[in-house]
Structure 1
Amino acid sequence: MQVNGTNAAGATATGTGTSQKAALGKVAQQFEAVFLRQMIGAMRSASLAEGIGDSSATQQFRDMADARTADAMASKGAMGIAELLLKQFGDRVSDAPAADAATGATSA
């Protein structure tokens, strides 16, 4: 989500010509990925038994695979969370390039 040229992670929007709506779409997709990672992690922690080959290495690789799965699901819009965020916040941002909006916000 863009607020005064800064996204939700606190980084200033880079890339000239990127509209605020495009930046909002990217951040909404990233939010959906984080949500899916948390959901997949919660499902993994709910397992009732540990496997024979479980170790810290297999756990680390499983976590990396889960993160990639969550990113892939978010990029396809599997859950629709990003779409809902765009519907909710899309009217609050303009189509002006993010860099110009950040300059205007700091000079105003």
Structure 2
Amino acid sequence: MDLKPINAAAPSLSPTRGSAADLRRAAEGFEELFLTQFLKAARSASLGEDIMGSSAVDKTRDLFDAEIARSASARTGLGIADAVERQFSRFVTPNGKAD
């Protein structure tokens, strides 16, 4: 498989593609997704057979983990959302409109 080099003629990201508020929401969503995957991986480490194992229990745990991740990402300030926001802030304008 041949990979083509990126050239200057390729379209670049414009700073008017979104607003700072959109970026923050996306960054917080990424942090939430990260925490959800972290919790899912932690739950996959089994200490033995689950005596209450069923698809309903598994689904309930998944929903609980998603809620924990949503809540934790909004409150704990792990810094993942802040890092994503810093990384991509140069691609947005504060109000999301063209200058």
TM range (shorter): 0.7 to 0.9
Which structure 2 residue ranges, 5 or more long, are not aligned? 1-12
Tell me what 1:74 maps to. Answer: 73
TM-score (norm 1): 0.69
Tell me what 2:34 maps to. Answer: 35
Matched residues in 1 for 2:48 and 2:79: separation? 32
In the alignment, structure 1 residue 51 sits paired with structure 2 residue 20: no
SS in 1 for 2:53: coil
TM-score (norm 2): 0.75
Higher RCO, 1 or 2 (CA under 8 Å, sep at least 6)? Answer: 2
Tell me what 2:24 maps to. Answer: 25
SS in 1 for 2:47: coil
- Percent sequence identity over matched residues? 36
Count how many residue pairs are aligned between Structure 1 and Structure 2: 86
Tell me what 1:90 maps to. Answer: 89
> What is the identity, as a one-letter code, of the residue corresponding to 2:57?
T
Which structure 1 residue ranges, 5 or more long, are not aligned? 6-18
> What is the identity, as a one-letter code, of the residue corresponding to 1:96?
N
Contact 1:32 1:81 in 2 (8 A): yes
Q: Which has the higher helix share?
A: 1
Matched residues in 2 for 1:29 and 1:96: separation? 18
Contact 1:36 1:70 in 2 (8 A): yes
> What is the identity, as a one-letter code, of the residue corresponding to 2:85?
L
Relative to structure 2, which stretch is displaced further, 26-35 or 47-56? Answer: 47-56
Relative to structure 2, which stretch is displaced further, 64-73 or 86-95? Answer: 86-95
Give me the CA root mean square deviation.
2.3
> What is the identity, as a one-letter code, of the residue corresponding to 1:58?
V
Matched residues in 1 for 2:51 and 2:76: separation? 35
